[in-house]
Amino acid sequence: MTGNPYPHELALGDVYITPVIPALFIAYMASVITVKILNIFKVSRFFIGRAYIFLSIMTLYMLLIDRFFIHF
């Protein structure tokens, strides 16, 4: 049996970290950029709960990073 070909931890020197931490950071930065773009084009005025929109965009980025890049 071969198992999962993807690593379960990321090695940063001698420290092993979960892949969720870099994915969370990348998703946060991407959602900040997306929200800034939405504010520039004044699309965010159509949203009622802007904090919820930020969290949902961040969740979508986390799912996309999980699906296509990190493969948890």
pLDDT tens per residue, range 9-58: 777 888 888 888 888 999 999 999 999 999 999 999 999 998 999 999 99
- What per-residue confidence (pLDDT) applies to 1? 47
Number of domains in the chain: 1
The answer as to whether 2 is a domain residue is no
Q: How far apart are CA 37 and CA 68, in angstroms?
A: 23
Answer whether 16's CB lies under 8 Å from 10's CB: yes
Residues 44, 35 contacting (CB under 8 angstroms): yes
Q: Please state, as a whole number, how many other Cβ atoms lie within 10 Å of the Cβ of residue 66.
A: 15
| Residue 3: inside a domain | no
Task: Supply the range of the domain harboring residue 53.
Answer: 10-70
Reading the block at residue 8, the tokens are 């379960």
Q: Which two tokens stand for residue 48?
A: 């009622």
Q: For the full predicted model, state whether its pTM sits above 0.85.
A: no
